[in-house]
Amino acid sequence: MPRISRLDRSEVSPELTTIYDRYLQERGNVPYFFRTVAHRPQIFETMIAHMEAVLRTGTLSTKLKELVVVRTSQLNCTAYCLASHTAISLKLGWTTEHLEALKDWQTSSLFSEAEKEAIHLAEVMTLRSHEYSDEDMARLRRFYSEGEVVELMASVGLFNYFNRFNNMLRMEPTQPATAEELAEAGVEPAHA
Q: Say yes or no: 41 and 67 in one domain.
A: no
pLDDT at 56 exceeding the cut of 60: yes
pTM check: above 0.85:
yes
Cβ contacts of 72 within 8 Å, gap of 6 or more: 122, 126, 155, 156, 159, 160, 163
Q: Say yes or no: 49 and 97 in one domain.
A: no
pLDDT-derived band at 190 (thresholds 50, 70, 90) equals low
For 73-127, the pLDDT digits (tens) are 999 999 999 999 999 999 999 999 999 999 999 999 999 999 999 999 999 999 9
Taking a C-beta distance cutoff of 8 angstroms, is the pair 85, 70 a contact? yes
**Which DSSP category does 172 fall into?**
P
Using left for φ > 0, alpha for ψ between -120 and 50, and beta otherwise, residue 12 falls in: beta
Angle of helix 146-169 relative to helix 113-127, nearest 10 degrees, comes to 50
Q: Say yes or no: 125 and 179 in one domain.
A: no
Give the phi and the psi of residue 105 in degrees, each rounded to 5: -60, -30
Q: Say yes or no: 163 and 150 in one domain.
A: yes
- Using alpha carbons, list the distances in angstroms from residue 159 to 13, 49, 104, 167, 185: 26, 14, 20, 12, 28
- What's the domain range around 26? 1-59+174-192
